[in-house]
Amino acid sequence: MKNYIISSLKLTFVMGLLVGVYLIIVYAGSKILPTQGNAETITYKGQKFYANIGQEFKSLKYFHSRPSAVNYNASGSAGSNKGPSNKEYLETVQKRIDTLRMQNPEMNNEKVPVELVTASGSGLDPNISEAGAAFQIKRIAKERNLSEATIENLIKTHTEKPLLGLFGPSKVNVLQLNIALDQLK
């Protein structure tokens, strides 16, 4: 019995040391990031927004975000857990496609970018692809009476390239892009 207790205490000590070292590395690593491990906040017109949490934009003059499985509620981050064989899920996606095509009638012959009609695993993805942003250019140009080239340039300047040019896709933060749209003269 004594051997079991000593072995379990040794194992507890070693695991505590490993987990402790891991936590210190993660914490120290977060402090060298630009946001120092904190949420990225943007203050616009006296209101505080979190740039790393998806926001809902319903107006036709804004870029629309990726749909959310949790209605953009950051305290309840989750996916729908419904797969592509689920009839209810397929109906939801088809409704989103129909709505998107209705809002962007000039894009009816274009392929709909998947992130504009499906929620992310967290339900709070703040980014869309360049293709997702480009799909919405004509609608926004018409609503804001701007040239498509102006909006294309805005997308290009707000596109975040892959880490080291290798890891992950290019992406556009919808909140930052919509704030930049509002700041155009």
Rg (CA), the chain: 22
| H or E element in which residue 159 lies | strand 159-160
> For residue 171, which phi and psi values (nearest 5 degrees)?
-150, 160
Parallel, antiparallel or unpaired: strands 127-128 and 159-160: unpaired
Q: 131: buried, middle or exposed (CB in 10 Å: 19+, 13-18, 0-12)? A: middle
12: number of Cβ within 10 Å: 10
User: Is 79 or 169 the better-scoring residue by pLDDT?
Assistant: 169
Q: Render the burial of 26-45: b for 16+ CB within 10 Å, e for the rest.
A: eeeeeeeeeeeeeebeeeee
Among 176, 110, 183, 100, which residue's Cα sits nearest to residue 146?
Answer: 183
Q: Whole-number mean pLDDT of the chain?
A: 88
- Amino acid at position 150, single letter: T
Percent of the chain with pLDDT over 70: 98
Closest to 68 in 3D by CA, of 58, 78, 83, 81: 78
Select, from the ranges 43-57, 67-81, 110-124, 140-154, the one with the highest average predicted confidence (pLDDT): 140-154
pLDDT at 155 over 80: yes
pLDDT bucket at 70, cuts 50 / 70 / 90 = confident
With a cut of 80, say whether residue 123 has pLDDT above it: no
